Structure 1
Amino acid sequence: MGQSSSTTSYPTSQFLISPEPSDSTDGIKIGPLRDYTEGIPDECLASIFQLLNASDRKRSSHVCKRWFRVDGQSRRRLSLNAQSEIISHVPSIFTRFDSVAKLSLRCDRRSLSINDDALLMISIRCEGLTRLKLRGCREVTEVGMDNFAKNCKNLTKFSCGSCNFGAIGINMLLKHCIKLEELTIKRLRNVNNGNDVVVPGAAALSLKSICLKELGYGQSFEPLVVECKMLKTLKVIRCAGDWDNVLVKMGSGNTFLSDVHLERLQVSDIGLGAISKCVNIDSLHIVKNPECTNLGLVSVAENCKKLRKLHIDGWKINRIGDEGLMAVSKQCPDLQELVFDWCSCYAFQYGGNCC
């Protein structure tokens, strides 16, 4: 159940290296044992802790009271089992680990997760938090996200999956976290009817990466994708809805976009044509999108001259083949990585030359 609370008992023995000889003239006698680690500054001890794996660090922190204290004060990354039983221990946990910058809270499907009150207590004690990952925290609502975002305005990376706070909760986060750079949303509940949309808010100028996975109504995120003009990475995977219109609106005004991943979407050559207007793209994944054909790939090849990595998965539809491959080989001189899967490329199948 998460980390040990501050009531953990300490061992009475210290980490003893060797005995110190006595100055007695009667012969060699064993004097009092000496702890040679006392001379190590706390900063150096903290650096040593950073090199240990999780289990070794946990055991080492129980060697003595000083090591226990230094471990708590220097720990920057913490992962907790976010079941409801941990709520009463939140104050003691984050009193000890008061310098956490990266926090992961996970709860399995069968258990009751932490609630808004617990998230509020965490945000009060971790104002310096820069990264947060929520998985299966179904008891956290829009109110909890609002209170959390108000206290943790230095957040730069946020990821959530299988949560229930919907588009309103994401809007609260984007409203207050003006330094947010990376946003990952997977299986977010209550985003199925499109009544609520996600807008970039104060994070419009800071967001550089957006990843959307398995959303029932992905069009709720259209304003977010379109209005983030500093966006460099866009990954949309298995999100329902027509994405051509979103890509058309985004492609006309984004000059920073460099990495695009489109997988199992309702997107056609119209969307690829819009993507091709982002001339700085150097990495493109088109995975299992049955409406994408050679025409869209040719458009990408003709406009995206900086393309270095291209992954195409035709999903046995065979609508992308030699024509698209030849366009890429002729128009993209900087290409370094090319992956074609389930495409009708006879040049590959029979060892021909597509150049």
Structure 2
Amino acid sequence: MIIVIAATFFFIILRFSVTLFNFLSNPKLHRVAKQYTDKVSILIPARDEADNILALLQSINNQDYPHYEVIVLDDDSTDQTYNIVADFAAKHPQFKIIKGAELPHYWLGKNYACYQLAEQATGNLFLFLDADEKISNGLINSALHRMYQRKLSLLSLFANQEMHSPGEKLVVPLMHYILLNLLPLQLVYLVKSAAVAAASGQFMLFNGADYRKNQWHQQVSYKVVEDVEIMKLVKASGYNGEALLSNNMVTCRMYKGYKEAVNGFSKNFLAAFNYNIFGFLIYILLVIAGPMIVMMTFDFQLIFLMAGLIILTRIMISLSVKQNAMYNVILHPVQMFSLTLIAFTAIQKHLTKTNVWKGRKI
């Protein structure tokens, strides 16, 4: 029992320290006033995104950077995605839509869609966005400034998350919670080892020449967590990569409702641990079972210390990503239940090979 409690507190203090580092170092994309003129190819894979994609297209059209082309790839959608984009493109000459080719063996759908988009791109920089996002003024100039300032081959941003239903609030905050208390984001750039890597496929900005030379999505054709794998490849090849918070310049509503959020997170959660089920279970036990064991000791000094560290961690992360800190503190126990459900769903799908997303087996 003493060993378990000691391990739990070591892990809580370690995660609190990482969170504090991230909070103080403020790893966000900062807005700049400098104007750039490079042509940016904005590349959007879309599969059954009729409910989302028009908002993204309008946000691109309304932003303050004029030097771009937008290419949307319709990845065998069964809804009105193609028609919606085609109608928009007919009125806006910088936008166009293409039909995706049949998915080959040993490719996952999004990876192949991104590969095809890059083949069509003519810009100096390639910006991959997900179809369920919106971007704001200042984003592209600020991102290009960061690219040139730090001589980056890849800049990836973690979008601010929109949550409208109670179910989303029980799951979606876990993404930033896990990210910001496990990895000091600044180290992605500062440490040259490929072992220190993080990225989000929601925003991937590449130096176009480097991408054409290395064909990053082709190299990760069958990887579920392709964003992190690409960051590892970028760094292993001697290029500079960086991952930052978007500072509210990219927003996204990832899922609509509790069930969809649990299924969405479970499809790639285990992949983030390199499919090491044992290591994954140790993490879950330390994060969830450990605090429950501390509660069962009825040692109020230990309980208050543990609760204080967890509450401060939740507040710092919530403020960093512009989420409601009070909600996340109050909902923390229920979010931990959601994390448990996601964990066991991910393991079950992996062992039974029943992981499916948007109608395709992963």
TM-score, length-normalised on structure 2? 0.26
Q: TM-score, normalised by structure 1?
A: 0.26
**Larger RCO, structure (CA 8 Å, separation 6 or more):** 2
